[in-house]
Amino acid sequence: MMKHADSNVVVGAYEAPDWLRETLRVASMPPELRERCEQAALRALDVARLRAARERTGFVAVPLPAWFRGLAQIGGVELAPLLEWFGVPDLSRPTPETAGPISRLAREVAFQLRETLALLRTTVAHSLGYTAIPLLAAAHRYGTIDAPAAADPVAAAEQTLAEVEALYDDEKRIVLRAILDAAKREYDDTH
Amino acid sequence: MSGGREAEVYEKLAARIKAREESAFRDFARLFSPFMRTYFLDNGIPQPHADDLVADSVTDILLRVEGHYQERSDGSFRAWVMECVRNVAAGWHRKHRLKTDALSDDPPSPDTGGSEPAHLAETQAVRDALSSLNEIDRQILEMRELGGMWSYAEIARDLDISEAAARVRHMRLLQRLEAILENDPRIKRKERAAG
């Protein structure tokens, strides 16, 4: 046993009871978890700001990176930490594996399922080199000499995408189907 | 803080979250995450799953405030958060029962109903006790009891004190906390330990 000069405690004689250690451990937050929870809260704030930005916009069929960069600019949000938090490695090339996290983020930002599906299809088309989707969708939206206007911007995008996807080979169609199924599951699992 | 005053603080927090005040989001994490962790651990969710659930729940519940919570003056925001936490725990157990349906032992069912105030009270009791510690003692507690079990030599080096001082301060702060919490009626764990 050892006495310390600035204490009347005999060090080594005291053993903290188990209930105390357990109480402290359970009820106290390790610093790294405290920091992680603070970051979790700030990511929720980022999403709330993106939602507010989304309310100020209409729908346009541009690829997901452009959408989220635009919303982030309007909402004053730094996008990279948010994408990392949601497990989205690359918005520009959706895959069946990333479609779920992308769709979860889109759902949280208040995109409807139909909008998210249209944006995923647009992004896939863009990644395959079909970069004129926004222009063609605008033509469908407002009508041309040859065709009446679509009912709404999402319908206009869907008409354009149907024309583009008719040019896909079977492999691309299978992958696209898997991407869209993953997105739908994310909306189906909404609590 | 009186019950009514406390209810007002929580309801104001809900309104501040809806107004997207950054400090409100931080306050939510600070106020509720210790309780969530206590609840998940005490309801059979092991670490590190419990810690992952805490972080996810902070984000998920905050995102639900805007569309799913209506302000009331009866302190219901805290109850609403507790309900969300209970649902998260139940969902975790449901998911893990489905994955481990071959096992014969039933996992513990999540606690329901009236135990959430006890968890919140216990967490608050510890927070109150920890507020009596000075900064150095709080760091020693974190390093020795809550973090990676630092040695006294490592603690001494990091805090620029002697190893003997680190050892003595550690023992003294535990004694102080035991004296405070032993007589706190919000701490039920010691009664369970006494059997």
CB contact under 8 A, B126 and A9: no
Cβ count within 10 A of residue A161: 23
Q: Is residue B119 part of a domain?
A: no
CB contact under 8 A, B29 and A48: no
Residue B115 has what DSSP assignment?
G
Q: Say which of A22, A26, A45 has its CB closest to residue B22.
A: A45
pLDDT at B84 over 60: yes
3-class DSSP state of A52: helix
Q: Which residues of B touch A44 (CB under 8 A)?
A: 25, 58-59, 62-63
Q: Which residue has the tokens 């009347």?
A: A8
Structure tokens at A94: 């959706």
Q: Which residues of A touch B13 (CB under 8 A)?
A: none
Q: Are residues B26 and B86 in the same domain?
A: yes
Model's pTM, two decimal places? 0.74
CB contact under 8 A, A9 and B168: yes
pLDDT digits (tens, 9 = 90+) for B140-170: 888 887 655 678 998 899 899 999 999 999 9
3-class DSSP state of B103: coil
Q: Are residues B3 and B43 in the same domain?
A: yes
pLDDT digits (tens, 9 = 90+) for A17-33: 988 988 887 777 777 89
DSSP characters for B135-161? Answer: HHHHHHHIIIIISS---HHHHHHHHTS
Q: Are residues B103 and B138 in the same domain?
A: no
* pLDDT of the residue at B85: 92
ipTM at complex level = 0.78
Of A108-117, A145-154, B73-82, B183-192, which has the strongest mean pLDDT?
A: A108-117
Q: Which one is predicted more confidently, B76 or A185?
A: A185
* pLDDT of the residue at A147: 66
Q: Which one is predicted more confidently, B84 or A28?
A: B84
Q: Which residues of B touch A45 (CB under 8 A)?
A: 20, 22, 25, 62
Q: Are residues B179 and B88 in the same domain?
A: no
Q: What angle do CA A11, A14, A15 make, to 5 degrees?
A: 130
A:23-52 residues touching chain B, CB 8 A cutoff:
23-34, 36-45, 47-49, 51-52
* pLDDT of the residue at A52: 94
CB contact under 8 A, B26 and A42: yes
Q: What is the mean pLDDT of chain A?
A: 87
* pLDDT of the residue at B123: 80
pLDDT digits (tens, 9 = 90+) for B92-116: 999 888 665 544 344 444 444 445 5
Structural Rg of chain B based on CA atoms: 19
Q: Is residue B116 part of a domain?
A: no
Q: Is residue B124 part of a domain?
A: no
pLDDT digits (tens, 9 = 90+) for B12-34: 899 999 999 999 999 999 888 88
Residue A143 has what DSSP assignment?
-
Q: Which one is predicted more confidently, A14 or A91?
A: A91
Q: Is residue B122 part of a domain?
A: no
CA nearest to A82 within chain B: B59
Q: Is residue B100 part of a domain?
A: yes
Q: Which residues of A touch B63 (CB under 8 A)?
A: 44, 47-48, 108
Domain termination site, one of B74, B107, B140:
B107
CB contact under 8 A, A40 and B55: yes
CB contact under 8 A, B177 and A26: no
Total domains in the fold of chain B: 2
Residue range of the domain that includes B18 = 1-107
Residue A3 confidence class, pLDDT cut points 50, 70, 90: very low
pLDDT digits (tens, 9 = 90+) for B60-71: 999 999 888 877
Q: Which residues of A touch B177 (CB under 8 A)?
A: 20, 24
* pLDDT of the residue at B167: 94
Give B4 to chain A, closest Cα distance, Å. Answer: 25
Percent of chain B with pLDDT over 90: 37
The rounded distance, in Å, linking the Cα atoms of A157 and A155 is 5
H/E run at residue A3: strand A2-3
* pLDDT of the residue at A91: 94
